[in-house]
Structure 1
Amino acid sequence: RLYNKNGRDWTTKYWPIALAVDLPCRTAILDGEVIVPGEQGAFDCPALEAAIWNEPNRLVFVAFDILHLDGHDLGSLPLLQRKQALWQLVEPGLGKIQYSEHFEGSALALFRTVEKIGLNGIISKRADSRYRSGLSSTWLKAKKFEEADSRVGGRL
């Protein structure tokens, strides 16, 4: 079953992903995002709505966290331990359910990489943080934006 963050059942809406679920476990609760991959693996946000109705086979679920696994609550574990459990469950690949890689290091280098591959932004989480739904001081969403200089002319 697939649910959105408000608890609505979206299994029918994202049926190709639901049909593709073949994980080596009985039950799991994953946190992630449904996307339509673009060139170089970058997310194609404008294509998402169109794909839902016209090309649902293009939809992919990118898992970036795991909350429960076979009856065990993993939310109190540090992020890096949860990511390790997630990686064992959803090994990196190109299927309908994909593992969201994590990176450690310089924020500036990461932002330059994000810009090069055309992503819209990143989510940063503390490596030692527990899982918390909703806004938290342990994670930050940073979106890319562009600046431009322009001339504006007119008469009074």
Structure 2
Amino acid sequence: MRDVKERLKFIKPLEPVQVETPPVSDDWLHEIKYDGFRAQLVLDWAGARAFSRNGHDWSQRYWPVVQAAEKLPAKSFIIDGEMIAPDPDGRPNFHEMHSRMTWNAELLAFVAFDLLHLDGEDLRAQPLIERKARLWNLIKPAKDIIQYSDHVEGNGAAFFEAVEKMGLEGMVSKRRESLYRSGKLDAWVKTKCWEVGDFELLGIRREPGKPAAAIMARDGRYAGAAAVTLPAGLRERLWQRVQQAKSAKPPRPVPTAVAGADVDWVRPGIKAKVRFLRGEHKLRHATVQDFREED
């Protein structure tokens, strides 16, 4: 019976821990946090494949990137990175991801940031800075559909300030000597930028032992919930306004689980200023800063 050579297997990714502020010591390197889908490119004797963060084979969705991977100068590799939908200026546009995966996959790009395996050698026990050097040698000049995640060493606070000014989602900091281990590890940390914006108040959800949550909409669509942590006087004014504007049902469509919760719905007309994490697709770690009634 003929031996069938095994294929390289997907490796569960290393997940960064979220922190409030970036590390400042010089033994960290810092990269932009790309707003897309985590992906892994795997090349072996039978060709290249692309996997999602959970190990699903998404090669057909990412077929142009898979074709480009097969042209790289190696017999086998496993590359960790992010699949993005870049705008003309190169910024990732998450809202274009699904459309391009379905209709225009040639307009996707893969940003490579780690190399786990190369030509039969497992690189996960090598320091990150060495893995990145070998990654660059593999994919350079890395300007087209397969790109390279540049980094700076040290100066995390200044890097974060630049990321904020550019309007990007955030940054990922990695210990330059870190090994690659699957799962959530604090050898990699992510720092996300904050935004403040106006949302329409749909209702207030109250649960015993938890802060009241404001159910929000933006541009006519359900956007998630924000904790109501206002000063006592302002909070009391908000409760009074909610009582005056009570409605039997939400003024906008909301998910079934939200609609079935214990919520005081309100008629349209109350706007809230909300602080929230940039780049999330529903409100996360959000808090109500202020509210006002529309004219």
TM-score of the aligned structures, taking structure 2 as reference length: 0.49
Counterpart position of 2:60: 12
Cα deviation, residue 153, structure 1: 4.1
Q: Residues 121 and 141 of structure 1 are in contact (CA less than 8 Å); yes or no, is this contact kept in structure 2?
A: yes
Write the mapping of 1:12-91 to structure 2, written as runs, cut at 5 A: 12-21=60-69, 22-91=71-140
Which structure features the higher share of strand residues? 2
- Cα distance change on mapping 1:124 and 1:88 into 2, 3 Å: same
Cα deviation, residue 40, structure 1: 3.0
Q: What do the CA deviations read for 1:69-93 (whole angstroms, capped 9, x no partner)?
A: 0000100000000000001001143
Counterpart position of 1:121: 170
Q: Secondary structure at the match of 1:113?
A: helix
Where in structure 2 are there 5+ consecutive unaligned residues? 1-48, 198-272, 274-288
Q: Residues 67 and 75 of structure 1 are in contact (CA less than 8 Å); yes or no, is this contact kept in structure 2?
A: yes
- Please report the RMSD computed on the Cα atoms of aligned residues, expressed in angstroms: 1.7
Counterpart position of 1:152: 291
Q: Secondary structure at the match of 2:153?
A: coil
1:117 partner amino acid: M
Q: Which has the larger radius of gyration?
A: 2
Q: What do the CA deviations read for 1:92-150 (whole angstroms, capped 9, x no partner)?
A: 43211111111112112101221233321111110010012221020112222213556
In structure 1, distance between residues paired with 2:114 and 2:290: 45
- Return 121-130 or 109-118, whichever deviates more: 109-118
In structure 2, distance between residues paired with 1:153 and 1:127: 47
2:58 partner amino acid: W
Cα deviation, residue 5, structure 1: 2.4
- Return 35-44 or 96-105, whichever deviates more: 35-44
Candidates 180, 192, 207, aligned match of 1:143: 192
Q: Secondary structure at the match of 1:147?
A: strand
- Cα distance change on mapping 1:115 and 1:92 into 2, 3 Å: farther
2:93 partner amino acid: D
Identity %: 43
Cα deviation, residue 39, structure 1: 4.4
How many residues were matched structurally? 154
TM-score of the aligned structures, taking structure 1 as reference length: 0.90
- Return 113-122 or 49-58, whichever deviates more: 113-122
- Cα distance change on mapping 1:80 and 1:50 into 2, 3 Å: same
Counterpart position of 1:134: 183
Q: Secondary structure at the match of 1:42?
A: coil
Q: Residues 42 and 118 of structure 1 are in contact (CA less than 8 Å); yes or no, is this contact kept in structure 2?
A: no
In structure 2, distance between residues paired with 1:91 and 1:54: 28
In structure 1, distance between residues paired with 2:191 and 2:137: 28
